[in-house]
Structure 1
Amino acid sequence: MTTNSFNPINTTAAPNGNGSKNSDSNGGLNIMSLIIYSVAFVLGVLGNGVVIWVTGFKMKKTVNIVWYLNLAVADFLFTAFLPLSVTYTALDFHWPFGKFMCKLNTTISFLNMFASVYILVVISVDRCVSVVWPVWAQNYRNVRRASYVSLCVWVVALILSAPYFIFRDTEQDSNKMICFDNYALSDDYETPSVKKLREFRHQAMTITHVLLGFAVPFTFIVLCYAVIIHRLRRNRTLANQSSRPFKIIAAIIITFFLCWAPFHIMGLIEMAYHMPEYSSEILDDIITIGFPIATSVAFLNSCLNPLLYVFMGQDFKDKVRKSILIVLESAFQEEETRNYTYTKSVDTSQNQESSDLNTEV
């Protein structure tokens, strides 16, 4: 069985290796994928393009702006390549763009995944540090250092996604050119040692992207926000003053989790399916139905963040009355102005910590 027909960013089986279900029998899933990919492309390119334009050229640079700008760049880059996946699906999974674009398309997909999740980790750590060590954050937290951290995130994401550029391959299958993951870097699908190498690398890649692209980062995120929530509970007024930006980033993190969790779960199921001891018709059916749905949901994540910025950045009436620029400014702005009145009302010892906390939470 192969997932070629459904998952343009994580096909693992050989195009002619294990047999494949006829994609014509899954026309409904293919149509669903086409619609979702197209919607994600249009909304993602337009929405993230606006965010990049506003945060990159129309707003004063702050640390928060640097984080959101990099998140939008990652999503924009991914959605800009979605027409390749749309074409691949529309042509009944014939890849007409050549081997290089096959490699690049998959690499960009995982680059987006790794960059996005690690930017969310950085945002969470940044907010946690601002809460726990507000004086240190006020002295050392600036746009220049945030830009350096962002650059490091992109380097790490590029390193983690580079293997997909190596293993992605194309091969003729009947009258179609298939884009798939050739973990053995060989067209030999019969020799036991080659099959074992392919299985080992498949398992290593799957476990790597599940752990480093999902489980470990979200563990850090949950720990950071546990600390933040614990600190905010000590001061209810402070928590109320800081609720809007906290809700925005919480919504972004929850959305990323809900969109990407099914994809990683399906990856683990597919890995189990390719193990002889776990292979079964039940797993075959789960993968056939589940992978196109999980992949489509994961793709949608890249077009949802701009919508979250707008719908959570202002009350609905304000969104109707104000321009896109003002709405995004409200969503992204630092908290100094909002919390100035509160910080002036507390005693001197509390004032320093509360002011710094309000600034970034």
Structure 2
Amino acid sequence: MGLLVLVTVLGNALVILAFVVDRRLRTQGDFFFLNLAVADLLVGGFCIPLYIPYVLTGEWRLGRGLCKLWLVVDYLVCTASVFNIVLISFDRFISVTKAVSYRAQKGKTRNAILKMVTVWIAAFLLYGPAILSWEYIAQKSILPEGECHAEFFYNWYFLMIASTIEFFTPFITVTYFNLSIYLNIRKRVSLRNENLSPGQEDSEMSFQGKKGNTPLTRDKRVAKSLAIIVSVFGLCWAPYTLLMIIRAACHGHCVLHALYETSFWLLWVNSAINPILYPLCHMSFRKAFTKLLCPRKVKIHPHIFM
């Protein structure tokens, strides 16, 4: 658990530091990666550390007030993380399918900041009011002494609606974006091949090899990176979402606690994996990370940042 905290905090802090240090990362699309890193950093820096003594002792000993705060922040940052992935996917989708208009808006950060703020507001409104006011509206609390979970923990109807907004709709949306990008690239490759004779095609492929930066090549990288991010998101979130709904429907009697607990931790693992995906899937972050972690390499090979 301590290792997960360390990896999550350091990884996402590195993403934020790279954004601060490298001005080239301050584009509209990269602002959304920053927003995701902030949400994931809060997961590792606040949510997991407060949960560790709870899961080890089996009892919440930090008081009801801190329990409420922990629940609000945990649901907020996890939901914000999902909504940020949707925002990143939409940004990648527009960059490929409407490249001209996207480049015209690339340097304008006001719209990006507005979208970032909207993500946090929407994430809070999904669970925050319910966490804070459920027991007052119901005029009773179902939370036993020494436990800390949301009052709607076993309310199947609420969880089904919230899960649809938090997971099912985002997952279908990002899958659609990914599929659209793939079809767009496939269509462009097909049109390019139709317009080239066999000799020209070989020449074009040779030229493409000499030049890992044409629009089509960049878009293929975007498609691959988005596919990886979406796949990891689905693998980390699907088990918890499904088990949460089933658990609520049968009031916890049909789902093993250990299985549910494992799926719960899998959500937080996603926050540790995300910063690892950035350098793998994003050339700009890879260069910035190299600059921060391997300054000697930059001095010896300055051309990699040209």
TM-score (norm 2): 0.76
Question: Aligned AA for 2:241?
Answer: H
Give, in angstroms, the shift of residue 147 of structure 1: 1.0
Structure 2 CA distance, aligned partners of 1:268 and 1:125?
A: 28
Q: What's the CA shift string for 1:169-215, capped at 9, x where partnerless?
A: 79664xxx2213334xxxxxxxxxxxxxx96xx12331123100001
Partner residue, 1:74: 39
More helix by share: 2
Q: What's the CA shift string for 1:107-145, capped at 9, x where partnerless?
A: 222212221121121222222223333333233342221
Structure 2 CA distance, aligned partners of 1:209 and 1:287?
A: 22
Verify: 1:181 aligned to 2:146, yes or no. no
Question: Aligned AA for 1:128?
Answer: F
Partner residue, 1:306: 275
**C-alpha RMSD over aligned residues:** 2.9
Verify: 1:111 aligned to 2:80, yes or no. no
CA shift in 2, pair 1:322/1:287, >3 Å: same
Q: Residue 148 of structure 2 aligns to a residue in which SS? A: strand
Contact 1:113–1:213 (CA<8 Å) still a contact in 2? Answer: no
Q: How does 1:1-361 map to 2 (within 5 A)?
A: 37-60=1-24, 61-81=26-46, 82-91=48-57, 93-141=58-106, 142-162=108-128, 163-167=130-134, 173=145, 177-183=146-152, 202-236=155-189, 239-274=216-251, 283=254, 286-313=255-282, 322-324=290-292
Q: What's the CA shift string for 1:146-168, capped at 9, x where partnerless?
A: 11111111111111121224348
Moved more, 123-132 or 144-153: 123-132
Structure 2 CA distance, aligned partners of 1:155 and 1:262?
A: 26
CA shift in 2, pair 1:149/1:160, >3 Å: same
CA shift in 2, pair 1:39/1:170, >3 Å: farther
Partner residue, 2:212: none
Contact 1:270–1:287 (CA<8 Å) still a contact in 2? Answer: no
Structure 1 CA distance, aligned partners of 2:132 and 2:229?
A: 28
CA shift in 2, pair 1:52/1:220, >3 Å: same
Moved more, 105-114 or 126-135: 126-135
CA shift in 2, pair 1:122/1:326, >3 Å: farther
Segments of structure 1 that go 5 or more residues without pairing to the other structure are 1-36, 184-197, 328-336, 339-361
Structure 2 CA distance, aligned partners of 1:232 and 1:326?
A: 35
Question: Aligned AA for 2:109?
Answer: V
CA shift in 2, pair 1:245/1:227, >3 Å: closer
TM-score (norm 1): 0.65
Contact 2:90–2:174 (CA<8 Å) still a contact in 1? Answer: yes
Structure 2 CA distance, aligned partners of 1:214 and 1:78?
A: 18
Q: Residue 60 of structure 2 aligns to a residue in which SS? A: coil
Q: What's the CA shift string for 1:83-123, capped at 9, x where partnerless?
A: 110011122x2112111211121222221222112112122
Q: Residue 179 of structure 1 aligns to a residue in which SS? A: coil
Q: What's the CA shift string for 1:253-302, capped at 9, x where partnerless?
A: 2111110110001111102212xxxx8x6x1xx33231011112111111
Question: Aligned AA for 1:267?
Answer: M
